[in-house]
Amino acid sequence: MKNQKIVPHLWFDKKAVEAAQYYTSIFPDSEITNITTLQHTPSGDIEEVSFEIAGHAFMAISAGPYFQINPSISFFLNFDPSKDPDAEEKLDGLWEKLAEGGTVLMPLQAYPFSKRYGWIQDKYGVSWQLILSDPDGEERPFILPSLLFVGDVCGKAEEARDFYVSIFENSRPGEIARYPAGMEPDREGTVMYSDYKIGDQWFAAMDSAQSHSFGFNEAVSLLIRCENQAEIDYYWDKLSADPKAEQCGWLKDKFGVSWQVWPEILGEMMQTGTKEQLDRLTQTFLQMKKFDIEKLKNSFEGK
């Protein structure tokens, strides 16, 4: 997706490149676009990989066993029968591939909201919600990152949606479906499903009061690509709610969701730098909380 502002970022112990190779082999219109190795970090040598799934940009990192990917952030895959007569067949085929070594969270079958839907956690821990979408509604993209609000933040999906829409330009709420009475433990009026648009990208949000052993963490973060220092300062100021979580461009918002506020030029330097330039760059950004573009450029250039 060209000019994609927000890029889902996946944290693996050692298998970022392997996972990216797997995803780009089973999804159409997918490719690995860059692999960079950074040395002498607290996690040792780490690999950062950029790739596209069905034209949607992703990033992943192999940086040690510190965070475990879980279903609190998953990815909706919309198969639209009005655009593709083979949508259901393609959904079933992709489900089979994602199911290899994976765990079914909701079986692939008919539900009140879709005649074909399933939720699966693949062998790398990443969760996917495959759905035969309703062609009568407003068109949605193939991939939507989806945030599940559980535990202490259950009931805050709508507040979070409104918060994100207020921060990013060209944003608006989309659909919302609320839990009716009689669906305990889910509280009447909380969000069964909602979606919203940030810039050119759609996201989804849901509440769940069921008992879950997971919540938001750093294993799946949302990376904001920024063109200049003013943008970095703006998003950092708006989103960061936990000073202890601020490190190397990472922050946590008031709902516990992890974001990375990332200068575009850092990605360019990581792709083009020599080993010496990358070493200097790495040692510089490891000392930072919020990224300082000028200091990053100076270290890269050896100033």
Residues 111 and 42 in one domain: no
Q: Write down the pLDDT at residue 214.
A: 96
Residue 136 included in any domain: yes
Which residues make Cβ contacts (< 8 Å) with residue 52, sequence separation at least 6? Answer: 1, 24, 29, 30, 31, 33, 58
Q: Tell me how far apart the terminal alpha carbons of the chain are, to the nearest angstrom.
A: 35
Residue ending a domain, choose from 207, 237, 267: 207
Residue ending a domain, choose from 207, 239, 260: 207
d(CA 75, CA 45): 29
Residues 59 and 103 in one domain: no
Residues 91 and 165 in one domain: yes
Cross-strand pairs, 59? 9, 50
**Contact of 78 with 28, CB cutoff 8 Å:** no
Nearest to 31 by CA among 10, 54, 14: 54
Residues 63 and 102 in one domain: no
Q: Write down the pLDDT at residue 135.
A: 66
Residue ending a domain, choose from 140, 174, 207: 207
pLDDT tens profile 152-203 = 999 999 999 999 999 999 999 999 999 999 999 999 999 999 999 998 899 9
| Mean pLDDT, rounded, of the chain | 94
Residues 39 and 127 in one domain: no
Residue 1 included in any domain: no
Q: How many CB atoms lie within 10 A of CB 165?
A: 17
Show the beta-strand stretches assigned E in the chain.
6-12, 31-41, 44-53, 56-62, 73-79, 103-111, 114-121, 127-132, 143-149, 172-178, 191-198, 201-207, 220-226, 250-252, 258-263
Residues 196 and 264 in one domain: no
Task: Give 44 or 20, the one with higher predicted confidence.
Answer: 20
| CATH code for the domain of 269 | 3.10.180.10
Residue 212 included in any domain: no
Q: Write down the pLDDT at residue 2.
A: 55
Q: Which stretch of 106-110, 138-142, 204-208, 264-268 has the lowest confidence by average pLDDT? A: 138-142
d(CA 3, CA 241): 27
H helix or E strand, kind and range, residue 217: none
Given a cut of 90, whether residue 28 has pLDDT beyond it is yes
Domain that holds residue 100: 73-207
Residues 117 and 99 in one domain: yes
Residues 101 and 227 in one domain: no
Looking at the 3D structure of the chain, how many domains does it have?
Answer: 2
| Interval 268-276 mean pLDDT | 89
**Contact of 218 with 11, CB cutoff 8 Å:** yes
Residues 13 and 125 in one domain: no
pLDDT tens profile 48-93 = 999 999 999 999 999 999 999 999 999 999 999 988 999 999 999 9
Q: Write down the pLDDT at residue 42.
A: 80
